Structure 1
Amino acid sequence: MTTSSAHGFAPGISIRILGTGGLFTNSGGCNGHDTGGDRISWDVASAPTETTFTIVARRQCSSYAGTPAGAVAGFPITSIDPVISATGMVYSEKELSIISISPLGTASGNVTAGDPTFGDTTARDQIVAWVRGQDNSENENQDCTISPFWPCGATNFTPRTTDIRASIHGDVLHSRPAVVNYNRYGDDNDIYAYYGSNDGMLHALKGGIAFHASGPDAALKPGSARWSLVVKEFFGKLKRLRSQVPAVSAATPKDYFFDGSIGVYQRDAKGNGDAISAPLNCDPADTSGCSAATVTGVIGDNVHATKGDKVQIYLTMRRGGEFIYALDVTNPADPKLLWRKARGDAGWEELGQSWSEPRVSRVKADLGNASNPDNVVLIFGAGYDPVVEDLNPCLIESWSTTNVVRKAIGGGSVTYTATGTCTIAGATGGTTTFNRTKGRGILVVDAFSGEVVWQAGGAVTTSATPPNRKLNVPGMTCAIPSDTTVLDKNRDGFADRIYVGDACGQAWRVDIATPVMDDWTVTRIAGVSTGGATDIANKRKFLVPPDIVFGTDGVGNYAAVLMGTGDREHPFDANVVNAFYMIKDRDSSDPGNPQAGATNATSVSIAGFGTPPVGDPITHGSPSTTGVFDATNTEGANDRGWKIDLGSGEKVVSSAVTISGTTFFNTNQPSSAAGGGACGSNLGIAREYLVGFADAAATVDLNASGTLSISDRSTIHSGGGYLPSPVPVVVEIDGKRYQAVISGTSVQSPPGLTLEKRTRVYWYKEVE
């Protein structure tokens, strides 16, 4: 791997190569393969100064430690190929492809295998086979030698290598399937679902309900796997996944892989206008050099390099890592790596764990990328900061928007209770301060190249390179792991606004309607984490995106920002008092031009940006100042909105959706009585709320009492747990269409107008 300068390793230091298996060679011709420790290290007495290094092909060797028989040498790389296909359509990145090698220099010193006692050089192949599904770990199924063969009468104790393991599919925890209907055959069966799981793989699943009559997918059974992908960042975690060593515990938590949401960009380009017989592989504005064919209105029929059909997916990892992958799946049988970006790449320095779904949008600004003529972007929060946000609230001494201080523990022990409290026994030493260092911002990224084209955050400074298209917002110093809500207010096909909350209980609006990025602005519309540094009860977090509804009251028009707080990473916590809010965001009717004196914060622009708006954000506090109306026990709203304080330990665990004036959202509350006794599981109390967006009033008679009251705001779902975010649907049954909202197995029908019935807006009568 070529470096930009000499490696600079000083004599006497230890060099460590990380990976699924390290390799080394010496002049004796024997290569060692480190499979146990997943690393190689050597003490350098006289390090070579060449700028290139490589890994060479291995041969069977016993593990080795000590002075090598010959020189340890580096070799140059003359070819790199980023992707290969494994047998059986399991894809993975390939680090390097070597065409030729020649020695550059030598280093002397002791070479030590990462695990000198581990001599099984086939472990790598066993791990690969296990990931692919082979049952080669537990070996509970062995070859039988005496009838009956089931159950086995006798065995030769030889593990059977032809059966698959029972747990071949890992858990799908936070990843949601991204579904694409390619419709290449006009039969509504050309459907693919892409989703991640914690077995280390991204899965491509063939959907539909019937076989295709023809085409490359004709032999694929609906529901079968088309291919899967394992990326290089996960290689080092596969060994533990197979061996289960070390076991999952508080000290060694579970490993995660493809556990985040997936963004999808889909473009079904037409030919010349709407003509069915337009040229294939053509730009409608430039048909020179095009081949004659037909564009039939399906994905894949227009393959123009820049303006043809496209299906691209964007993969986030959540706790799986601080990186994002983009794949071109225009041909679902032939995926291609589009780009990969990680924390530390240019413009991506602020990225934390990639929790926020990349929202696909178009902007009026010209990105300057000829391969992206539609200026398609991804919009998302910069991520999650586990060092700060994973601290249990009961252990927090104090907090601010720049750091969190943990109580003294030292050599003591912590005892947690089911009510969310904890006690520290035998504490030693002092408190520990954890600074907020990542995830503090909003990124706008070119969807085709992965380049950051604009960002806002508290860590952005005028010295950033390049300084343009970066907005310094001093108050944006907390992680933003939430999905964003992107709004096209005037429905012209371009994004006008972004709404999102952060892990310190602040809600932000970003105005991006103008084609000049220098004029994009950031506004803090609310801050609901009130109180002093030690007021843990008011340390609220926004981890889910808001819903936006436009309304009108006696003051004028407003955008209702509907969102709730809750730390779903600490389900038993009862220290923080959470709430659900409707925040009235008032500004001018023209997107991107905030009204002077509107409710916002003190964003500071760097050179080239306009003057930001000023004002006070809405708070959780007293309605007489900047607070919203307290609708906890009664319906209503004031000029700033309303809030519903939740019960002890209750947290908002889903985004909200508003249909026909009713807002749906879900919560979870820990309870010692929710599990059905000693033999039952306890997943807490799962509630689904249905409230009027304008005044928090009940809209559906959920308790069947015949009248509406505060008790009709929510209903409890058996089984508990975290209900998924509500999804609005329209279904047709016996020729009649119905509107509903689905959360898991729950289906609710919002009140309001019946679909397909028209309401008279005005009428007049002429009289002669």
Structure 2
Amino acid sequence: MNGLSIWLKVVVLVLGAVSYASHAEDIDIFAGDADVDAGLPNIIFVLDNTANWSRQSQKWPGGNTQGQSEVRAIKLALQDQIGKLNVGFMMFTTQGSANEDGGYVRFNLQALTEDAYGQFSQVLDTVFDGINDSIEKRNSNTAFGNLMADYYNYLAGSNQTYNGSGTPGSLADSEGYTTDYSLFKSPLSTLDVCTNTYLIFIGNPSSSGPTDDSSSNSDRLRALYADAGATAPDALAGGAGSPLPLPGFTTTTTVEPGTPLGPSGSCWKNSEQAQCSIEENAPGGKCEAFEDCACVAVSTNTSGCITTGKPDNRTARFDVEVGGSTSTTVTPTGIDDTTTGRSFNLDDWSKFLFNYGIPVTVEQDDTTVTQHVSVVTYTIDVFNKQQNAAHSGLLFSAAQVGGGRYFQARNEDQLVDAIGGAVSDILSVSTTFAAVTLPLSTTNRTQQDNQVFIGMFRPAPGEKPRWFGNLKTYQIGLFDGVPELADVNLKRAINPLTGFATECAVSFWTEDSGNFWESLGVAPPPRGQCLPSPGTSDWSDLPDGPFVEKGGAAQMVRQAASRGLYTVADGVLAELNAAALGSQTLFDYLVGIAPGINAAGTFEAMPEEGRRPSIHGDVVHSRPLTISYGGDNGVTVFYGSNDGVYRAIDASNGAEKWGLVAPEHFTQFERLYDNHPMIQYTGFVGDDGPDYERKDYFFDGSTGQLVLYNEDSEVELAYIYPTMRRGGRMIYALDVTDPAAAPTFLWSKGCPNLDNDTGCDTGYAGIGQTWSTPVGGYVGGYLAGDNKPQPIIMFGGGYDDCLYEDTADYACDANAKGRGVYIVDGATGQLLRHFQTDGPVVGEVAAVDVPRPIQDGLFEYAYVADARGSLWRIDFTTLSGAYPFAMTTLAPEEWTITKVAETGNRTRRFLNQPAVGVFRERVFVAIGSGDRERPLESNYPYSEDVQNRIYAFIDRPAAPVPDGGISPVDLDGDTMIAVSAPSPDEELPEANPLLGTDGWYMDLPGTGEQIVNQAAIGGGRVFFNTYQPGGVNTGICTRPLGIAKGYGLSLFNPELTEGVEIDGGGMPIPPVIATVRLPNQSPVDCEGDACPPPAPGPVITICIGCEGFKPVEIEPEAAPTRKRIYWTEEVDG
């Protein structure tokens, strides 16, 4: 989960006093905030008004100069934003000496009302009209540093860099000054502490690149760092050391000759060449349709001209020509430039503004305190024919370290798009998401198709139980040589401010739906803010952007003419009907043809066509499962949502193939229909009583699978195993071998009731909530009559109520549910073995197919962890001797379980699947401790400061068993290496630093920091994510959802690290490692049929979830090669 909607901050979280219930869960982070007035975002445009804004060599199209297009674009981009933001405008000073290169306020920051927009438009028109006047522009070789310094000075209310010298008094806005024009008046107030402030820098490259900043500008920035109690982390202009790296580029120069258009229409004297050009550029002239067109030389064509007499009276025609040009283009090299940046400070200023911000004095609890307003920087690189590599690199760096985005614009339309895109980002609403999945390729089982399926949800305002949810699809694209999440049009999909979709992102399957959302009364109103307008209504599903309820599978279900919904009755699949639910009203509500109760207690509005807008519920914990069927059968996606339906979706078009409703959930639909009782969140007085209950869940767990392919890479057998997580204690088994048909019900096992053991299947009275996703496969010792391996599935016993106890000490006893591992015949459901463990097994089993030296598709071992902190190995074979080992398969009655390791500290919980990597005779088992169901500062991981750890345990399953049996390794003991920061004088580690050890562990550095999902191993590294409450807390603003971090440590040479903070915060998604083939092209500015089909491109291995939705490319370390363990159809952490 990541992000928090603005409405949730200001509408849902209105109860003040705190009480601490024991029944906490991860969704409680959405109720951990206070009610504040967030205000409007502040946007200050900073325009580079050097003479570069009118360079002829740029061949700027459209008839205006670059600068004129820039101010027109600002005006156009803001015309529909009245009442949505505060706006200001700054430029370079233009008077005084050439060295007085500071900035001045042209339009004081203020709310963009109708009047203010009119006034700002007049300012922009003045700039437009005087674009070449000396009072409007500076010389072309002006450095950017002092302009950025005066941006800071303006917001801070400090002196202008040159005490006002150089400021054009007739143009400056006196409202921006305390003393004209030496002392700025800060436009920031107490309310701005809770408001984001943004800088949109519009830059025009010089032919020689950026000008070096002065040492005095560097001194000013160093002083600000010192005032903040820090030192400048990077080398500044005039200094020594390592600067901020700039992206490296190669520059290509192309000379384009002029294009002759023939002789002029009239005859002219030699002295009248200029008049000839004027006439030919007038309507009807040869130059009418061209830019940079003129009369250039006397033509040999003199027809009709005076060719005799006095020379001064003779006339001739001129040759008319469209001027040639010299173009420069830059191409990313993928290698950082680590020296050039030392000359420039633009990006260093943006980094400081983002990280340290502007000090603002605030009265809080009768005390004056200083808070800091962070500034996010967006940059727009404006050029046409002559891009400059250093200029582009500097602007890219400024946006990157400033928390914003970098745009390029080659014409006025692209300028409007860029400014609109930046404003859309700023105005966007952050949302929440669950997990991602990529389907395996049907032609190459080591690759995934380039499809990223993302389950989403949005908590409802007013603590109502009916939440919006969706499943959306994106892809991976290359941007400046870097893989990023892209939308259907191969445009960047993620807003760096929120970590979620941009306003203009379009997920696959999404279609234009006109004004569908305009009159439905959905709160908050899902009105799009994509700029420029995509040509569809703001209330359309297209583009769906960051709105959970728009587009995707939810739109396809709404628009479906019919639905195939099923349930289980008398042991077989049956069509769902009103009788099963006990009410025609509930049945009509579930299928979407009738409304439910809305938040106001009346019926929710229904659209003129289609099904109710809330038909698709939240996907909170269910990780989508994909099966690639091969041939012409495509990919099907399976997942559960908390509207009560477990779905199969056609990945080609988003259409719902069928849905399953479990009988165990029938009684929960009335609450969804009534939208009442409200959800009881932990942390607020009043949330206990008849009007509040814990949130209901349905098929909220992830889905296991067992898929067998034939020689043609087509599915021969496909079984899936949905789980319920908090929704119940059952596991279902469905045969989905035929993708075109409804599934066949195979079996279900477990207990039908959450709170008692009535009706439990034989052998399952000890099962808990089914959190552990079944793992399917084959073992050598479980055979059919024809000696072919029979399918099995394995899953942990699940979650027990004893784990609800909010105490650091492990509170479960021998009566706890979920203590053990179930191994079941995958086809019949026959219980083959149940192995007891010390504590509940909440996470998945990790199965191992040992390479000897290749894999045979059979499991030899499996690893599992329990909540008490124990790590277990299940043996399906015995290995002996040296690698590649002698192997003996075991029959089910001979299978064994052994505790191989444990942590003696009972405050550390293992609730996740171990990540396993096999390296010859060693098996690396990586697992982290934590409790994601305790996310608040009041919960024990934070309040009692539990020291959680990541462990990488080395098991040697082929080693001889000592007399007396195997003693579990103490994961916190002397045979485990404690990872620490290397000393500067420390020698490089030996080639095999783990020789003779049982592995290593690392303490998580943050207070209450915990690992909240499974790790992943790839490229010789282990990747994992953590969560801790809090973050930057101003004390008067909304508390964030918590700090999410991503870590990546070498398995073989780990070093202490602080991790990378993930954009948006909140509960992170698990890391997903996938190998995909990318389109061999950069995203293009096109839509629909105008877009060329993507060509095959490079194959890369990436991790999604290692740093949120920012894909991280995985490069193998120089270490033993990791062998594939066992391919399952879904690829997840």
Normalised TM-score (structure 1): 0.58
Q: Whole-Å Cα distance in 2 between the matches of residues 399 and 752 of structure 1?
A: 39
Q: Indicate how the Cα distance of structure 1 residues 129 and 520 shifts in structure 2: closer, same or farther if over 3 A, else same.
A: same
Structure 1 residue 95: Cα displacement: 5.3
Aligned partner of 1:88 in structure 2 is: 563
Q: Tell me which of 198, 204, 222 is aligned to 2:642.
A: 198
Matched, 1:661 2:1020: yes
Task: In structure 2, give the amino acid aligned to 1:180.
Answer: I
Q: Whole-Å Cα distance in 2 between the matches of residues 677 and 749 of structure 1?
A: 38
| Runs of 5+ consecutive residues of structure 2 not aligned to the other structure | 1-560, 573-579, 682-687, 752-759, 878-888, 983-988, 1081-1096, 1122-1133
Task: In structure 2, give the amino acid aligned to 1:177.
Answer: P
Aligned partner of 2:898 in structure 1 is: 523
Aligned partner of 2:1071 in structure 1 is: 726
Structure 1 residue 375: Cα displacement: 0.8
Aligned partner of 2:728 in structure 1 is: 321
| Runs of 5+ consecutive residues of structure 1 not aligned to the other structure | 1-85, 98-120, 144-154, 209-221, 271-295, 300-308, 404-434, 458-475, 531-537, 598-612, 698-709, 758-768
Q: Whole-Å Cα distance in 2 between the matches of residues 752 and 192 of structure 1?
A: 31
Aligned partner of 1:339 in structure 2 is: 747
Deviation digits for residues 300-340 of structure 1 (CA, Å, limit 9, x no counterpart): xxxxxxxxx22211111101100111111122332111111
Deviation digits for residues 100-135 of structure 1 (CA, Å, limit 9, x no counterpart): xxxxxxxxxxxxxxxxxxxxx998111111111234
Q: Whole-Å Cα distance in 1 between the matches of residues 1043 and 651 of structure 2?
A: 34
Tell me how many residue pairs correspond in the alignment.
Answer: 484
Q: Whole-Å Cα distance in 1 between the matches of residues 679 and 871 of structure 2?
A: 36
Aligned partner of 2:976 in structure 1 is: 628
Contact 1:508 1:523 in 2 (8 A): yes
Moved more, 479-488 or 576-585: 576-585
Structure 1 residue 232: Cα displacement: 0.4
Q: Indicate how the Cα distance of structure 1 residues 506 and 297 shifts in structure 2: closer, same or farther if over 3 A, else same.
A: closer
Aligned partner of 1:365 in structure 2 is: 781
Matched, 1:549 2:1024: no
Task: In structure 2, give the amino acid aligned to 1:521.
Answer: T
Aligned partner of 2:969 in structure 1 is: 618
Task: In structure 2, give the amino acid aligned to 1:183.
Answer: G
Matched, 1:651 2:1082: no
Moved more, 351-360 or 514-523: 514-523
Contact 2:606 2:612 in 1 (8 A): no
Aligned partner of 1:448 in structure 2 is: 827
Deviation digits for residues 155-198 of structure 1 (CA, Å, limit 9, x no counterpart): 9x99999763322111101111111122342xxx6221110011
Aligned partner of 1:171 in structure 2 is: 618
Q: Tell me which of 577, 580, 584 is aligned to 2:950.
A: 580
Q: Whole-Å Cα distance in 2 between the matches of residues 227 and 393 of structure 1?
A: 43
Structure 1 residue 653: Cα displacement: 1.5
Contact 1:90 1:227 in 2 (8 A): yes
Task: In structure 2, give the amino acid aligned to 1:124.
Answer: S
Percent sequence identity over matched residues? 31
| SS of equivalent to 1:393 | coil
Task: In structure 2, give the amino acid aligned to 1:196.
Answer: G
Aligned alpha-carbon RMSD (Å): 3.4
Q: Whole-Å Cα distance in 1 between the matches of residues 1022 and 1009 of structure 2?
A: 18
Q: Whole-Å Cα distance in 2 between the matches of residues 523 and 614 of structure 1?
A: 9
Q: Whole-Å Cα distance in 2 between the matches of residues 201 and 544 of structure 1?
A: 26
Q: Whole-Å Cα distance in 2 between the matches of residues 440 and 140 of structure 1?
A: 41
Q: Whole-Å Cα distance in 1 between the matches of residues 619 and 568 of structure 2?
A: 22
- Superposition pairs of residues 693-712 of structure 1, within 5 angstroms: 693-697=1051-1055, 710-711=1056-1057
- Superposition pairs of residues 81-230 of structure 1, within 5 angstroms: 88-94=563-569, 124-138=583-597, 164-185=611-632, 190-208=634-652, 222-230=653-661
Contact 1:324 1:354 in 2 (8 A): yes
Q: Indicate how the Cα distance of structure 1 residues 160 and 95 shifts in structure 2: closer, same or farther if over 3 A, else same.
A: farther
Q: Whole-Å Cα distance in 2 between the matches of residues 336 and 677 of structure 1?
A: 56
Aligned partner of 1:737 in structure 2 is: 1099
Q: Indicate how the Cα distance of structure 1 residues 139 and 667 shifts in structure 2: closer, same or farther if over 3 A, else same.
A: closer
Q: Whole-Å Cα distance in 2 between the matches of residues 161 and 93 of structure 1?
A: 33
Q: Whole-Å Cα distance in 1 between the matches of residues 850 and 624 of structure 2?
A: 28
Aligned partner of 1:424 in structure 2 is: none
Contact 1:263 1:359 in 2 (8 A): yes
Structure 1 residue 266: Cα displacement: 1.8
Q: Indicate how the Cα distance of structure 1 residues 447 and 161 shifts in structure 2: closer, same or farther if over 3 A, else same.
A: same
Task: In structure 2, give the amino acid aligned to 1:376.
Answer: P
Q: Whole-Å Cα distance in 2 between the matches of residues 161 and 134 of structure 1?
A: 11
Aligned partner of 2:1042 in structure 1 is: 684
Task: In structure 1, give the amino acid aligned to 2:955.
Answer: D
Q: Indicate how the Cα distance of structure 1 residues 618 and 236 shifts in structure 2: closer, same or farther if over 3 A, else same.
A: same
Aligned partner of 2:19 in structure 1 is: none
Task: In structure 2, give the amino acid aligned to 1:617.
Answer: P
Structure 1 residue 374: Cα displacement: 3.1
Deviation digits for residues 386-441 of structure 1 (CA, Å, limit 9, x no counterpart): x20111126xxx546x52xxxxxxxxxxxxxxxxxxxxxxxxxxxxxxx6331111
Matched, 1:257 2:664: no
Structure 1 residue 141: Cα displacement: 12
Task: In structure 2, give the amino acid aligned to 1:451.
Answer: Q
The structure richer in helix per residue is: 2
Contact 2:749 2:764 in 1 (8 A): yes
Q: Tell me which of 388, 409, 433 is aligned to 2:802.
A: 388
Matched, 1:244 2:638: no
Q: Indicate how the Cα distance of structure 1 residues 614 and 680 shifts in structure 2: closer, same or farther if over 3 A, else same.
A: same
Q: Tell me which of 818, 835, 848 is aligned to 1:487.
A: 848
Contact 2:861 2:875 in 1 (8 A): yes
Q: Whole-Å Cα distance in 1 between the matches of residues 1046 and 864 of structure 2?
A: 22
Aligned partner of 2:1086 in structure 1 is: none
Q: Whole-Å Cα distance in 1 between the matches of residues 723 and 730 of structure 2?
A: 7
- Superposition pairs of residues 457-496 of structure 1, within 5 angstroms: 457=836, 476-490=837-851, 491-496=855-860
Q: Indicate how the Cα distance of structure 1 residues 619 and 366 shifts in structure 2: closer, same or farther if over 3 A, else same.
A: closer
| SS of equivalent to 1:721 | coil
Deviation digits for residues 51-87 of structure 1 (CA, Å, limit 9, x no counterpart): xxxxxxxxxxxxxxxxxxxxxxxxxxxxxxxxxxx97
Q: Tell me which of 861, 868, 876 is aligned to 1:497.
A: 861
Aligned partner of 2:21 in structure 1 is: none
Normalised TM-score (structure 2): 0.40
- Superposition pairs of residues 666-677 of structure 1, within 5 angstroms: 666-673=1025-1032
Q: Whole-Å Cα distance in 2 between the matches of residues 648 and 549 of structure 1?
A: 30
Larger RCO (CA within 8 A; separation ≥ 6):
2
Task: In structure 2, give the amino acid aligned to 1:481.
Answer: V
Deviation digits for residues 509-535 of structure 1 (CA, Å, limit 9, x no counterpart): 1111223233322111211142xxxxx
Q: Whole-Å Cα distance in 2 between the matches of residues 673 and 565 of structure 1?
A: 24
Q: Whole-Å Cα distance in 2 between the matches of residues 750 and 136 of structure 1?
A: 48
Contact 1:741 1:748 in 2 (8 A): yes
| SS of equivalent to 2:673 | helix
Name the larger-Rg structure.
Answer: 2
Structure 1 residue 723: Cα displacement: 2.0
- Superposition pairs of residues 599-610 of structure 1, within 5 angstroms: none
Aligned partner of 1:355 in structure 2 is: 771
Task: In structure 1, give the amino acid aligned to 2:1063.
Answer: S
Q: Tell me which of 1113, 1120, 1131 is aligned to 1:749.
A: 1113
- Superposition pairs of residues 386-425 of structure 1, within 5 angstroms: 387-393=801-807, 399=810, 403=813
Structure 1 residue 347: Cα displacement: 2.6
Structure 1 residue 737: Cα displacement: 2.4
Contact 1:342 1:351 in 2 (8 A): yes
Q: Whole-Å Cα distance in 1 between the matches of residues 606 and 951 of structure 2?
A: 59
